[in-house]
Structure 1
Amino acid sequence: MKQTAVVVAPGRGTYNREELGYFARHHPDKSRLMAQFDDFRRQAGQEPLSALDGAEQYAGATFTRGDNASGLIYACAYADFLSIDRTRFDILAVTGNSMGWYIALACAGALDAMDGLNVVNTMGTLMHRNMIGGQLIYPFVDENWVPIPGRRAEIETRIAEIDRRAGHVLGLSIDLGGMLVLAGNAEGLAAFEAEMPKVQSRYPMRLPGHAGFHTALQAPVAAAGQARLGPELFDTPDIALIDGRGAVWRPKSSDPARLRAYTLGHQVTEPYDFTAAIRVAARDLMPDVFIVLGPGTTLGGATAQSLLSCHWRGWRDKAGFQAAQQEHPRLLAMGRPDQRALVTAPPGGRTA
């Protein structure tokens, strides 16, 4: 009997040194798809994705750029989606984190494969060329993923205080499980870093190559994206989509024009609530499993923390989650070889 699943698409920052060669390793059967992606990039005057994935060494300055990272992550994640064994899994919905929303649109059929790359590549390139603001990340949970009493309110109070200062911009960018991703200008980010205590030896952590996503700072990028990406690209999804507000876009009843307006408007300039998207998926759809697409494994922790926040399957802390995973895995990250084997179709299965 099939298991029901919600698929989660990753955002920026998931293709790192360990992921170099991810597409070539996992998707040799999808060379035709990669060739189409490469042709698109060449026509845009950009380095082919296969050349990036096949580089001898990982160079952060190259791979964290929005115009490179976005397309590369899209190619890997979309190919992972095509590799899910549909004889074993009935996909109820697709969601994603931040840029992962664009990937989710393609997985759900609201964009075809090439239009999905067009949207991802266009928005990633616009973000990189404008490079307005930056991002950092800060937790409000402890190392066992349990919320620290009063910590979130403390963070939000400090954000508001800094944002009121002359010349300072700071706001919530992404609600990411047990973390808050903040976006702002140089002054706002620097003030937060100076005034908040360092926790877990690494936070607050700047996110290299990231602009001030999901804030009003990105209004020029949203306008440019709307001018370049026409309504003909968008269609009604074949699979339900859950967006960055927790709203559900259902097959046959979703308006492509409204979907485009959200994607290139609100989604760009307003906070993205990944936690709400996962909560809605868990409570409203109650899937057997969540499948997190690669590349990388970093989104698995944020997905698990989002599920803990609504006590899905009785999970309440990291230790309990890990014990449950050992007994009956319900969060399957395709970036992990052991969990990937539980998800993928056998050779000769569904490919591009």
Structure 2
Amino acid sequence: MSTTRNSSPVSPARERLLVVCPGRGTYNAAEWGTLNRLAGDSDWLKRFDAMRHEAGMPTLSELDGETAFRQSLHGRGEHAAPLIYACAWADLLAIDRERYEVVAVTGNSMGWYIALAAAGALSPEDALHLIGTMGLMMQETLAGGQVIYPWVDETWRPDWALRRELLSLIEGIHGRKGAELYLSIDLGGMLVFGGNEAGLARLSEALPPRERFPLRLHQHAAFHTPLQEAVKREARHELASLPLRAPEVPMIDGRGHVWTPWSTDPERLWDYTLGEQLVAPYDFTAAVKVGVREFAPDRIVIPGPGATLGGATAQALIQLGWKGLDDKAEFQKLQAEEPRLICMGIPEQREWLLARAPVPSLGA
């Protein structure tokens, strides 16, 4: 073992992690029961449940255990968003901090709110309040909807001409015959469009069928578009005293902007979180690229529930050429050798990040 001059042991360098927090749509029937399995006896979940009970809502423990999964119930914003956050929080707490250092945090859409908690810009309870409040506001308003469509080919290689064609549809549809259509999320190798019913209907007619696409996202409003102006106004009033603070680790937002512990103005962070972030496109791809380029992580970690964000993240990494990746096959080969993109919703990948049991000594 290496030693310092005074013969004290040198701790091995911790691996650097970029944490990518999941957004809406990652808690489904297959994930039901995850929260109780991972954190059923935790004090923090009891506090979360107490907050929900006080607000007159079913507790997260009940939704994840006693109440049989129903998409019409569990998929509602006021339930889905807190469930996703709680599952992600359980995963984040499970990471072995003696072996791993979180060097930056980002997220997809609602994952930005989780990132605020993961980076220490909000307490866990204040993050639950934010996430629950925004989930309820979005659900009650449910202005517009979202449609998702891929622009990479079957091997996940970029088709830049197709991307340009897809984006040009927005200009051709928006503002005609009552249609509203916008780019909502730049999601790796996919584009998420947000719009009103007229805009989404015309978009779906214009998009060529491709496997399960175009895909309308269930119980999703037109997030990150001007259709959320009313929600923005209400949120800024309802959450005027949200106690945001400078993060403990850098955060990368939906523009690719980095909020650092030493330069963050909490008022500006509040203004972005409850302002531009709600009504302007969310560039998840840019966030991932900035995270990789600026913070040089050894691994990229996506907390659960589920693993649906893994494909979009991998597609962003292929566009970047991270570790020589240029298509889906190369990514799968790298993952088979040693997972560099770890989805904690996949049990065998989650094990990579947990504290290792001590090896028993000989004769023990």
Check whether TM > 0.5.
yes
Give the conservation status (yes or no) of the 8 Å contact 1:169–1:185: yes
**Does the 8 Å contact 2:252/2:258 carry over to 1?**
yes
Question: RMSD of the alignment, in Å?
Answer: 1.3
Q: Percent identity?
A: 49
In the alignment, what sits opposite 2:94? 83
Matches within 5 A, 1:1-352: 1=12, 2-30=14-42, 32-55=43-66, 57-199=68-210, 201-345=211-355
Secondary structure at the aligned position of 2:352 is classed as coil
**Which of the pair has more CA radius of gyration?**
2
What letter matches 1:248 in structure 2?
A: V
**Greater CA deviation, 1-10 or 171-180?**
1-10
TM-score normalized by the length of structure 2: 0.93
Q: CA deviation at 1:58?
A: 1.6
Separation in 2, partners of 1:159, 1:273: 17
Task: Give 1:191 deviation, angstroms.
Answer: 0.7
The whole-number CA distance in structure 1 between the counterparts of 2:38 and 2:171 is: 44
Deviations, residues 295-330 of structure 1 (Å, cap 9, x unaligned): 010001111111111111111110000001111211
CA distance in structure 1 between the aligned counterparts of 2:334 and 2:288, rounded to whole angstroms: 18
The TM-score with structure 1 as length reference comes to: 0.96
State the AA in 2 paired with 1:34. L
Amino acid at match of 1:76: C
Q: Deviations over 1:144-184 (max 9, x none)?
A: 10122511111011121111313001110000000001100
2:190 and 2:344 map into 1 onto residues whose CA distance is 22
- Ranges in structure 1 where 5+ consecutive residues have no aligned partner: none
**CA displacement 1:82-102 (0-9 Å, x = unmatched):** 111101111100100000000
Q: How many residues align?
A: 346
SS at match of 2:306: coil
- Distance (Å, rounded) in 2 between the aligned partners of 1:161 and 1:215: 17
C-alpha separation in 2, matches of 1:64 and 1:245: 27
The alpha-carbon deviation at position 75 of structure 1 amounts to 0.7
Q: Which amino acid aligns with 1:72?
A: L
Change in 2 beyond 3 A, CA 1:173/1:232: closer
Rounded to whole Å, the distance in 1 between the matches of 2:15 and 2:40 is: 27
**What CA distance in whole angstroms lies between the structure 1 residues aligned with 2:160 and 2:263?**
42
